Structure 1
């Protein structure tokens, strides 16, 4: 009986990671996988165990010794939890190097970066940059500034491939949207919200009107969570079927995930339309965020400015691999009202739980 392939998923309960795990559990070769997931709480660990996943409780951010050991025990690692934690990535890579030196195996790392890596300055919502990056343009990607978002972690991943102790691949999604479906979401294991659009929605609900940075002119590539998860598994299948050296890897293994692009003002207007339809605002037209609002709703003024930048790209390498995303910007805009409704419902539940907790302590 052949040994099962040991697979480690970091971010298995997350928005993307849960969707990838759900596909692996339904994979035609699922019986040949030995899947381990690192999770932060015992409740979700127990739920994952019910799906046949070995769940280890710990933190990618803080438990570096554990991350190193788990990586050493895996032939394939899906890193889908944090694109910017260099110390954690270094621990993961050390584990892969340990495995290679101990067994001779060349493990596979599929790392999640982000299309923010091609942001070219603080556009403050006022311009559309003409440049559209292509993931097959290796020379252009190699010239990205070391100071770019995610770049320090990406560079460490590239270096591991050059060193030869791992074969590395990087998937960089743009703006993600959509409600994950499937058993993990239904069981409450998986996060069901992305980041960029939900933060805009929460800011709009708090201020009583949709908002945008400046005039909202810049554009970002976007991808539905289901299409993104399909790309992760497609890449995994290609590496498994062809062999890791026969699929673009390292600096030739950068895969953008996006099928369309949208202007921030169009997303903001769709949020405004949803708020007006739900009786949360009188005017659907978005207005510019003030500096104070950017600091209040987006963690800091500097982070808030990211919603006023351009991240334009083509997923040529991904599509050459056989990726066929189904969703477009029309689906992104159509997803916004259900997302608004879900966030409102969750806010009501959270307030009710907070009230009950305070009442119980009286």
Structure 2
């Protein structure tokens, strides 16, 4: 199949491209800059110029292909998460509308984070804005295309998708520890984060594209739930910093996310699609990395 891939030059997309090509697919990658276009062309990807805010370009890209994987999500303003989610909904509406009545696959990216503490999220549990925040509304919109002749599925990613080059929440925690001279966790640190290696997540995107039925939710989860105290412990040990409980405000805007207790299971995904995590878990991945100690002197 020829696949339209948004986020093709990003952290997950750059791992997904070679897996799609190895599976026999051709990739048309969305690029909003010359640098992204050059990177994609070098990887053997056909380039489609556009952006998440250019809805006509998204419709054209989707209509020209046999399937769509939507990995892109705006991180231009990390303080405006709700606005980024609104942009995501607009992109999903454009991509889905181009596929109505075709039965072509559309795989969208969602999240496992939710506000209910202590319960393990499963694939069969629906999320809405009250339980999963503004990004859950994007998932709801996407899955609504299942009734309109689109083989749409939602692939939920955990808060940490890790590997070399990760620029998500955990690297932010590492940099904050460097700046403040301590590696912190909130409260008793027993709240849990799920995680997945990006190569395992990329394999699941391909399986969703090829096999997921309309309306399916899949969980790309390797670690069901790692305590935030353990995450802080590895960071502190690698940097030679004290590990201690700190107020949520210590983390700034990411404190709201780091305070969540949001374990998630991938048991149903593994049973239904034959997917199993093969790469290192988050703690082992962090242990193997070299952290440069840049503590204030």
Q: TM-score, normalised by structure 2?
A: 0.85
From 280, 284, 296, give the equivalent of 1:334.
284
Contact 2:162–2:197 (Cα < 8 Å) also in 1: yes
Q: Does 1:72 align with 2:63?
A: yes
Work out the CA distance in 1 between the residues paired with 2:85 and 2:116.
22
Work out the CA distance in 2 between the residues paired with 1:95 and 1:267.
37
Q: Which runs of 4+ in 1 moved over 4 A?
A: 337-340
Cα 1:68–1:85 shift into 2, 3 Å: farther
Runs of 5+ consecutive residues of structure 1 not aligned to the other structure: 122-128, 181-191, 239-246, 348-362
Contact 2:196–2:221 (Cα < 8 Å) also in 1: yes
Work out the CA distance in 2 between the residues paired with 1:161 and 1:332.
34
| Cα deviation, residue 214, structure 1 | 2.3
From 173, 182, 187, give the equivalent of 1:200.
173
Equivalent residue number for residue 77 of structure 2: none
Q: Does 1:146 align with 2:103?
A: no
For 1:278-293, list aligned pairs within 5 A. 281=241, 283=242, 285-289=243-247, 291=249, 293=250
Q: Does 1:132 align with 2:120?
A: yes
Equivalent residue number for residue 6 of structure 2: 10
Equivalent residue number for residue 357 of structure 1: none
| Cα deviation, residue 40, structure 1 | 2.7
Q: Does 1:54 align with 2:37?
A: no
Equivalent residue number for residue 167 of structure 1: 151
SS in 1 for 2:276: coil
SS in 2 for 1:286: strand
For 1:1-362, list aligned pairs within 5 A. 5-27=1-23, 29=24, 33-60=25-52, 62-82=53-73, 85-100=85-100, 105-116=102-113, 118-120=114-116, 129=118, 131-135=119-123, 137=124, 141-142=125-126, 144-147=127-130, 148-149=132-133, 150-164=135-149, 166-179=150-163, 192-238=165-211, 247-250=212-215, 253-260=216-223, 261-276=225-240, 281=241, 283=242, 285-289=243-247, 291=249, 293-295=250-252, 300=253, 303-320=254-271, 321-327=273-279, 331-339=281-289, 341=291, 344=292
Equivalent residue number for residue 81 of structure 2: none
What is the count of residue pairs matched by the alignment?
A: 281
Contact 2:176–2:251 (Cα < 8 Å) also in 1: no
Calculate the aligned-residue CA RMSD, in Å: 2.4
Q: Which has the larger radius of gyration?
A: 1
* Structure 1 or 2: more helix by fraction: 1
Write out per-residue CA displacement over residues 147-204 of structure 1, whole angstroms, 9 at most, x where no aligned residue: 322111011101111222x111111121434425xxxxxxxxxxx2141211110110
Runs of 5+ consecutive residues of structure 2 not aligned to the other structure: 75-83
